[in-house]
Amino acid sequence: MQALSSPNLNFIDCPDAQGIHRMAYWDWGKVDADHVILCVHGLTRQGRDFDVLARALCAANPNVRVVCPDVAGRGQSEWLKDPNAYALPTYASDMLVLLSHLKPKVLDWVGTSMGGLIGMVVTGQANLPLSVPVRKLVLNDVGPVLEWVSLVRIGQYLGKYGRFDSKEIAAEALWQIAKGFGPHTPEQWLELTKPSLRPWIDPATGQANGVTLRYDPAIAQPFSLATEESTKQGEAILWALYDNIKAQTLLVRGADSDLLSSATALAMTQRGPKATLVEFAGVGHAPTFVATNQSQVVVDFLLK
């Protein structure tokens, strides 16, 4: 078993309409473990968001493998040639390719925001080519109803980034749009931010000069096409997926979330898999599982 200080970085080729794109994934724990926990991140994030949670899971059970992919266009994964392919069907297809490669005998899924929606697509369809069904599902601050006010807020910053003089300055700038993640020390926030950054290359000199974000700004293109009406129309599809989930489900919510309303969260405890709801006070969208009380809830749900 590898040390728990850092994960291994691996890649897998995923097919698309233009050929293939390479998806990165971060691998923690026992590489030949039968029990795989797949952790899928949010819209502009990357797989290293789960470092603290992955360490906690591996410490609690040395016989698990925690796999944290960088969804296409994010982190170390390739950017898609067609921006319109930045959508749930592409992401779900990529996860099926990854799971076909991993071949778990026991499979759990942790999905934050977009990662939770991808999880609903995969777990809410009965005839997908999975070697095993998802046993336990953690939906982190997301459900079938996406509050329009939150989508408008996200659209105001999505894809609009430039150069920062240093990682610390970038972290401070990102904190201004991510305060919903809840309280973090400056050190914790910097550690969360670093994997989301890459060197900014001066086009005039070809030399690195500062840093910029690591996701493809083109992910904003399909996002910008959504309207309040189309979002509401999509709710019926998402509810149908949710109602078909057979996995034991934990719903985590930031008590101040603007994406997942308390009413939607309550409905999710009453229908479909009848999720167990845990809320964290003083947190909006979305909990990061950096705080010990947050990560422990997930560890207990998946491993105890």
Which of 247, 266, 245 shows the shortest CA–CA distance to 255?
A: 266
What would the pLDDT profile of 29-40 be if each residue is shown by its tens digit? 999 999 999 999
Give the span between the Cα atoms of 251 and 121, in whole angstroms.
Answer: 16
> Mean pLDDT over residues 287-303, rounded?
98
What CATH number is associated with residue 114?
A: 3.40.50.1820
Q: What percentage of the chain carries pLDDT values higher than 70? A: 99
* Residue linked to tokens 């970085």: 9
Residue 13, both tokens: 């080729």
What's the pLDDT band for 181 if we cut at 50, 70, 90?
A: very high
Q: Is residue 39 part of a domain?
A: yes
Q: Is residue 244 part of a domain?
A: yes
Q: Is the bond preceding 72 in cis, omega lying within 30 degrees of 0?
A: no
| pLDDT for residue 2 | 42
What would the pLDDT profile of 58-99 be if each residue is shown by its tens digit? 999 999 999 999 999 999 999 999 999 999 999 999 999 999
Question: Could you give the 3-state DSSP secondary structure of residue 150?
Answer: helix
Q: What is the pTM of this model?
A: 0.96
> Mean pLDDT over residues 282-288, rounded?
98
Q: Is residue 173 part of a domain?
A: no
| Number of folded domains that form the chain | 1
Q: Is residue 267 part of a domain?
A: yes
> Mean pLDDT over residues 154-177, rounded?
96
Dihedral of CA atoms 205, 210, 211, 212 in degrees, nearest 10, equals -60
262 is in which domain, residue-wise? 8-146+228-303
What's the pLDDT band for 4 if we cut at 50, 70, 90?
A: low
For the chain, how long is the longest CA-to-CA vector?
A: 59
Q: Is residue 270 part of a domain?
A: yes
Give the span between the Cα atoms of 114 and 230, in whole angstroms.
Answer: 17
CB 141 within 8 A of CB 288: no
What would the pLDDT profile of 14-55 be if each residue is shown by its tens digit? 999 999 999 999 999 999 999 999 999 999 999 999 999 999
